[in-house]
Structure 1
Amino acid sequence: MYNSPRGTRSHALTGPSLLLYGKKTTWSSLALRLQPALVYTTKVQAFHTSVPVFKKKTPAESEAESQKKLESLKDSPKPALYLSLGGLIPFVAVPLTMALQGTYWPQLAFAQVAYGAATASFLGGMRWGFTLPENSPAKPDWLNLANSTVPPLLACQALLFKDVAQGAVMLMLALGIALHYDISLLPTYPRWFKVLRVAGTVVMISSLLATVALKTGPEKSPVF
C-alpha cells in the first residue's frame, strides 16, 4: 500500500507502477548523490588543466648573465688568461690539422691525449697546492686532498688504453670530474677562475670529441 502525502488515502501499486516508482526513486537519489561528486570533479579538472606558469629568463636577463661572465674573464689576471688561452692551442691544433688535411693521424691523436693527461694532472695538483697556505679557504683535509688525486689517476689510465679513442673518452671524464670539483664540490676559487675553467674545459672536451670523430677517416702517419 502507498500513503499519499496529501491524505491517508492509499492505493495498491501494480507491477509496472512499482517498477516505475523504483526507477524514479533510484535515479533521483543517484542524481543527488552524484551531483556533489560531479561538481568536485569539475573543480579538480579545472585545477589540473590550468596551464602552469614557469618563470623563464628573459632575453635581457640572459644577456646580463652573459655580460657578467665576460666581465669576469676581463677581470682575470692577464697572465692567467693568456697562459690558459695558450694552453688550449695544442688541443685545438690537432683536430684542426687533421681536418684540413682530410686524414686521421694516430700519432697526433696520441700526442693530444698525452698533453690532455698532463693538463688533467696539473688541474688536480693545483687543488692540492691551493690547500697548503695557512690562510687558504680550502683546508688540507681528506675532501680536498683525496679528490685532487682523482684526475691524475684517470689521466694515467687514459694513457694505458691501446685505442686512442678510448683514452680520449677517459680523458674527457677526467676533465669533467676536475671541473665538477672546482665549480660545485669545492667552490672556493674566485669567480673569474671558475668562468675560465668552464670555458677551457668546453674547448678541451670539444677538441677531443673532434679528434674521435675524425678517426673514421683514412689514417696516415705524419712525416717529420
Structure 2
Amino acid sequence: MLYRQTAARSIFRAISRSNASVARSSLVNNVFKAHLTSSTRSAARPTVSPSLALAAHKPVTTALVRYASTSHKSDEDVDVMAGIKGDAKVIKQTFSLEDVPKDALYLGMAGVIPYLATSLETVYLAYEVNRANTLGDGLIFSGQSAELMLHMLEPVQIGYGAVILSFLGAVHWGLEWAGYGGRFGYRRYAAGIVAPAVAWPTLLFPVEHALITQFLAFTFLYYNDARAAVQGRAPHWYGMYRFVLTFVVGASIVATLIGREQISGIVSKDHNISEKISALLFLQKKEKQEAEERRKAEQEESE
C-alpha cells in the first residue's frame, strides 16, 4: 500500500515537472523568436542619424510655416478687399442717381454743358494769352484775338449763370403751387425771389466779383434745396441731383477764376460798376454842355 502511494506521488511529480519544462521551453522559444525577429528587422532597417531626421522633417516644417503665413496674408488681403468693396458700395449708394427721373437727369446734365464749355474755353484762351505774352505768339490764336474772345465769353458765362440761378429759384414756386409736401407760403416763395435778386445784379459786376457771387449763390441754393428734400418739401432725390449739378458748375467757376488769375497782369481789367456809372454821368454832362453850346451858337447866328 505504501509502495503504491509513493509510486503515485512520483508519477504526479514527473507529470508536473514535464508540464513545467514544456511551458518553460515554449516561453523561451517565443521570447527567442521575438528577439530574432526584432533583431532581423533592426538589421534590415537602415540607421538614420539625427541630422538626417531633422533634414527629413525640415521641409515639412517650412511648408507648414509658409502655408500659415500665406493663409494669414491671404486672409488679410481678403479682409482689405472686402473693406474697399464695402466702402465703394457705400459711396455708390450715397451718390446714386438711380431714383432721379431720366428726363430730368439728362436735361439737367445738358443744361450745365454751356457753363462747362465757357469755363474750359476761358482756361484755354488764358493759356493762349499767356503763351503769346511769353513766346510772342499763341498756339492757335494770336494774343490779341485770344484776349478779344476772352472778353466776349465773360458776359456769356455770367449771363448764363444768372439764368440758371433764376431757374433754380423758380422751381420752389412750382413746388408750392403743386402743394408738394404741404403749403409753406412765403417761406417757399422766398427762395424763388432771392435767387434772381442776387443773380441779375452780377451782370454789372466785374468778372471775378460776379463769378464769386454766383458761386456763393449756387452753394446757398444747394443747401436750401438739400434741406427741402430732407424735410419733404421736395422729392427725396432732389438733394443729390442738385449736388451733382452744383458740383459741375462750382468746378467750372473755380477753373475760370484760376485761368483768369494766370493772366491777371496781362489782360486789361474790366471796369467795375462805379467806374461805369461815373463814365455814364460824365458822358451825360458832356452831352449837356455840347447842347448848351449849340444853343448859344444858334442864338448868336439869329441875332
In structure 2, distance between residues paired with 1:170 and 1:211: 14
The partner residue of 2:246 within 201, 209, 212 is 201
Map residues 27-176 of structure 1 onto 2, 5 A cutoff.
Answer: 59=84, 62-70=87-95, 72-101=96-125, 102=127, 103=129, 105-134=150-179, 136-161=180-205, 163-176=206-219
Letter in 1 for 2:93: K
- Point out which structure has higher relative CO (alpha carbons under 8 A, 6+ apart): 1
Question: Over aligned residues, Cα RMSD in angstroms?
Answer: 2.2
8 Å Cα contact 2:219/2:246 also seen in 1: yes
User: Offset of 1:186 from its aligned partner?
Assistant: 6.0
Cα deviation per residue 1:80-137 (whole Å; 9 max; x = unaligned)? 0110110111111112123334246132122111101100000001011111124x21
In structure 1, distance between residues paired with 2:105 and 2:229: 21
Cα deviation per residue 1:136-168 (whole Å; 9 max; x = unaligned)? 21424221112331111110221121x111011
Q: In structure 2, the residue corresponding to 1:149 is in which secondary structure?
A: helix
In structure 2, distance between residues paired with 1:62 and 1:214: 35
In structure 2, distance between residues paired with 1:213 and 1:110: 18
**Structure 1 residues 115 and 97: alpha-carbon distance in aligned structure 2, compared to 1, 3 A threshold:** same
8 Å Cα contact 1:151/1:177 also seen in 2: no
In structure 2, distance between residues paired with 1:147 and 1:66: 30
Q: In structure 2, the residue corresponding to 1:126 is in which secondary structure?
A: helix
In structure 2, distance between residues paired with 1:86 and 1:186: 22
User: Offset of 1:60 from its aligned partner?
Assistant: 5.4
Match of 2:222 in 1: 179
Q: In structure 2, the residue corresponding to 1:81 is in which secondary structure?
A: helix
**Please, what TM-score do these two structures have when normalized by structure 2?**
0.48
8 Å Cα contact 2:165/2:195 also seen in 1: yes
Map residues 15-34 of structure 1 onto 2, 5 A cutoff.
Answer: none
8 Å Cα contact 1:172/1:205 also seen in 2: yes
Letter in 2 for 1:111: V
Cα deviation per residue 1:5-31 (whole Å; 9 max; x = unaligned)? xxxxxxxxxxxxxxxxxxxxxxxxxxx
8 Å Cα contact 2:229/2:237 also seen in 1: no
In structure 1, distance between residues paired with 2:88 and 2:236: 18
| Structure in which a larger fraction of residues adopt helix | 2
**Please, what TM-score do these two structures have when normalized by structure 1?**
0.64
Q: Structure 2: any 5+ residue segments left out of the alignment? A: 1-82, 130-146, 269-303
Letter in 2 for 1:96: L
Counting aligned pairs with the same residue, the percent is 28
Structure 1 runs, 4 residues or longer, greater than 3 Å off = 58-62
Match of 1:211 in 2: 256
User: Offset of 1:205 from its aligned partner?
Assistant: 1.1
